[in-house]
A = this chain, B = another copy of it.
């Protein structure tokens, strides 16, 4: 397994849970890289192509789906499409990096099905009141949008048991340490160490 597959770390969590900040914490660790998703949604002003997303047309996205170029893909809010290119896996393997996927629940389930060795982390707000406070503090959303986000958060969290780890983001420093610990510790899973262990056993005469 360790030969064919990089360590894949999936991070999901409701909008406003702070998952992107925790993804950055993982990326501070040497030997990690972010998988850049493709999306059909238009870029925001602050977003440059190829850094957080590759922005593609619907036609191009469809072509990639048909040619099996996605590890997972999903339509979010019944509107825009998001997908993780399989190529990310090859790149991570070639560079000997752990691959970090910031994807939603649907994408996480697809990825875990295809890559059972992937490690899935769910980031949660400590409470509804806290999440509502964070969403309001951003000041981007209408009342309707806030209600929709909170309901979507609830629905996403019902899938927590498909994940390996859960982090409650009530203290960013502690949560950051935890997500880094999960990433580092996952490198030592026996299934990932088998080549190394076999070499050691061989030195003992098998």
A residues near B (Cβ < 8 Å) are: 121-122, 124-129, 150, 153-154, 157-158, 160-161, 163-168, 177-178, 180-190, 193, 196-197, 200-201, 203-205
Q: Is the CB of A188 within 8 A of B197?
A: no
The distance in angstroms between the C-alpha atoms of A188 and B164, with both chains bound, is 8
Interface of A is mostly: helix
27 A-B contacts (beta carbon < 8 Å): A121-B188, A124-B197, A126-B200, A127-B203, A128-B203, A128-B204, A129-B203, A150-B204, A153-B204, A154-B204, A157-B201, A158-B201, A160-B190, A164-B190, A166-B188, A166-B190, A166-B193, A166-B196, A167-B188, A168-B193, A168-B196, A180-B181, A181-B183, A181-B184, A181-B185, A185-B185, A185-B186
Which residues of the partner chain B approach A185 to less than 8 Å between Cβ atoms?
Answer: 165, 178, 181-182, 184-186
Q: Is the CB of A177 within 8 A of B166?
A: no
Which residues of the partner chain B approach A196 to less than 8 Å between Cβ atoms?
Answer: 166, 168
Q: Is the CB of A190 within 8 A of B161?
A: yes
For the complex with contacts A160-B197, A181-B184, 9 further pairs of A-B residues with Cβ separation under 8 Å are A127-B203, A128-B203, A153-B204, A165-B185, A166-B193, A167-B188, A168-B193, A178-B185, A185-B185
Which residues of the partner chain B approach A177 to less than 8 Å between Cβ atoms?
Answer: 184
